[in-house]
């Protein structure tokens, strides 16, 4: 058993190696490709990049190396992608933060500095409360938020001005409430925020429902709503904001694969095709659904459209909430 599995693995690697010269004849790619991840090893973006990198490697026949360039709330890594040579040998994962950080005055970099190849994932936001919360439905919670003085309710799940903070502010604004009607308690991410909510520290966590999945399964957290146009497959009991409280607010964090601006047409096409194949592989689908990540495909053109629309929406909210510089 051991020998057979090892043999299989060895064969798999060997065939990948043999595939290299065969495919290299068509010019691109003939050497390893670098896939830059602006976030740390072990996080969600890193995990998506690593599975996608492994699959791309099989498609393209050259090694795809995942490189984490962390720091500066994503600015460092995004800059590294944008300023690389647009030859197709440096690509990267561009996340929704690209639509936020230039409004905050952290960098001059915007989505316009990239050529988007594909969108490979999107996770809609949600509204979660602890099982001990007196509010069991979204209309109940919203009525209480409206009725009680501003600041009575506390929410957490990202840093100050982070994406889910904006998600909450956007939801409040859609009901004509002040963006800071619910006080934001900054946290180091969704998991600490959810833990703190269960410990009784905060009332609401508006992050993606996937991040609360284990606690929802453990019946410690209730998913009251989803910030998506339709209900999410994994969380069928969570109504959309539209059907529950007639809010038009939707927000999803996405991950795209992008290259520096100015990528040659043929390289972009080749990468786009390879990405689509990787996306449609059973391995990718299994990985994403098991992890609770939302499947979302958009080709380069559509991805650019979504990214630019979100840029405008987030910019508006950040200005109203006072985060824009």
Partner 1 sequence: MLIFEQAAALVFDPYVLGVILASAIFGMLVGAIPGLTATMATALLVPMTFFMDPVPAIAAIVTATAMAIFAGDIPAALLRMPGTPSSAAYVDDAYKMTQSGRGDEALGAALVFSAIGGLFGSIVLMTLAPALAEVALRFSSEEYFWLVLLGLSCAVFVTPSSPTRGLISLLFGLFVATIGMENPSGEPRFSFGNLELMAGIQFIPAMIGLFAISEILRTVTATIPRQKIPRSDGHGIFKTQWKNLKKYPVQTVRGNITGTALGILPGAGADIAAWISYAISKRFSKTPEKFGTGHVEGLVEAGASNNSAVSGAWIPALVFGIPGDSITAIVIGVLYIKGINPGPTIFINDPQTVYAIFMVFILANLIMLPLGWLAIRGARPMLSIPPSTLMPMILIFCIVGAFAIANSTAGIVMMLIFGIIGFFMEENDIPIAPAILGMVLGPMLEQNFITSMIKADGDIFRFFERPIAGGLGVFTILIWTLPLVMLLLRRRKQARLAT
**Is 126 a residue that touches partner 1 (CB under 8 A)?**
no
Q: How far is the CB of 137 from partner 1 (least distance, A)?
A: 24
Of 179 and 239, which CB lies nearer to partner 1 in the complex structure? 179
Q: How far is the CB of 165 from partner 1 (least distance, A)?
A: 9
**Is 213 a residue that touches partner 1 (CB under 8 A)?**
yes
Of 106 and 177, which CB lies nearer to partner 1 in the complex structure? 106
Sheet arrangement for strand 204-205: 183-185, 154-156, 204-205, 126-130, 221-226
The residue within the footprint of partner 1, chosen from 33, 35, 59, 73 (CB under 8 A), is: 73
**Is 199 a residue that touches partner 1 (CB under 8 A)?**
yes
Residues that contact partner 1, how many (by CB under 8 A): 63
**Is 167 a residue that touches partner 1 (CB under 8 A)?**
no
Half-sphere exposure of 142 (CA within 13 A, CB side): 19
- Considering only residues 280 through 309, tell me which ones interact with partner 1, judged by CB under 8 A: 283, 286-287, 290-292
Element of type H or E holding 176: none
**Which of these segments, 14-22, 64-72, 114-122, 242-250, binds partner 1 (CB under 8 A)?**
64-72
The CA-based dihedral angle spanning residues 243, 129, 203, 291, taken in that order and rounded to the nearest 10 degrees: -110
Q: How far is the CB of 81 from partner 1 (least distance, A)?
A: 13
Of 5 and 25, which CB lies nearer to partner 1 in the complex structure? 5
- What does DSSP assign to residue 231? -
Whole-number Å distance between alpha carbons of 128 and 233: 17
Of 147 and 290, which CB lies nearer to partner 1 in the complex structure? 290
**Is 139 a residue that touches partner 1 (CB under 8 A)?**
no
- The contacts found for 292-296 with CB under 8 angstroms, 24 or more apart, are 292/210, 292/211, 292/213, 292/234, 293/44, 293/48, 293/121, 293/123, 293/210, 294/121, 294/122, 294/123, 294/124, 294/208, 294/210, 294/232, 294/252, 295/121, 296/119, 296/120, 296/121, 296/122, 296/252, 296/254
**Is 222 a residue that touches partner 1 (CB under 8 A)?**
no
Q: How far is the CB of 69 from partner 1 (least distance, A)?
A: 6
DSSP structure string for 74-117: GHHHHHHHHTS-SSSSEEEEEEGGGGTTTTTTS-S--GGGEEEE
User: Among all chains, which residue has been given the structure tokens 């919203």?
Assistant: 142
Q: How far is the CB of 266 from partner 1 (least distance, A)?
A: 29
Whole-number Å distance between alpha carbons of 38 and 138: 35
Q: How far is the CB of 303 from partner 1 (least distance, A)?
A: 24
Binding site for partner 1 (CB under 8 A): 1-2, 5-6, 9, 40-44, 46-47, 50-51, 53-54, 67-73, 75-76, 79, 106-107, 151, 154, 156, 159-162, 183-188, 191-192, 194-196, 198-202, 213-215, 217-218, 220, 283, 286-287, 290-292
């Amino acid at each position: 058993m051991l020998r057979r599995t090892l043999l299989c693995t060895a064969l798999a690697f060997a065939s990948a190696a043999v595939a290299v010269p065969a495919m290299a004849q068509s010019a691109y790619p003939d050497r390893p490709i670098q896939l830059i991840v602006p976030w740390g090893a072990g996080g969600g973006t890193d995990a998506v990049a690593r599975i996608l990198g492994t699959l791309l490697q099989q498609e393209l026949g050259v090694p795809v190396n995942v490189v984490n360039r962390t720091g500066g709330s994503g600015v460092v890594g995004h800059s590294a992608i944008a300023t690389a040579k647009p030859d197709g040998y440096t690509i990267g994962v561009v996340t929704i933060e690209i639509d936020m950080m230039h409004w905050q005055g952290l960098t001059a970099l915007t989505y316009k500095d990239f050529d988007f190849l594909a969108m490979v994932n999107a996770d809609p936001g949600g509204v979660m409360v602890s099982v001990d919360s007196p509010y069991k439905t979204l209309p109940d919670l919203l009525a209480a938020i409206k009725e009680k003085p501003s600041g009575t309710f506390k929410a957490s799940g990202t840093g100050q001005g982070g994406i889910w903070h904006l998600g909450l502010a956007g939801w409040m604004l859609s009901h004509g409430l002040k963006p800071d009607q619910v006080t934001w308690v900054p946290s180091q991410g969704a998991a600490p925020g959810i833990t703190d909510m269960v410990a009784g520290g905060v009332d609401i966590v508006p992050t993606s429902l996937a991040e609360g999945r284990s606690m929802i399964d453990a019946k410690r957290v209730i998913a009251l709503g989803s910030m998506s146009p339709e209900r999410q497959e994994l969380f069928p009991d969570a109504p959309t904001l539209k059907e529950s409280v007639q809010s038009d607010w939707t927000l999803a964090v996405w991950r795209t694969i992008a290259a520096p601006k100015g990528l040659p047409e043929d390289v972009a096409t080749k990468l786009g095709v390879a990405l689509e194949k990787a996306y449609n592989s059973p391995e990718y689908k299994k990985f994403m659904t098991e992890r609770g990540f939302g499947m979302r495909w958009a080709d380069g053109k559509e991805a650019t459209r979504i990214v630019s629309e979100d840029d405008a929406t987030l910019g508006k909210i950040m200005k109203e909430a006072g985060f824009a510089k």
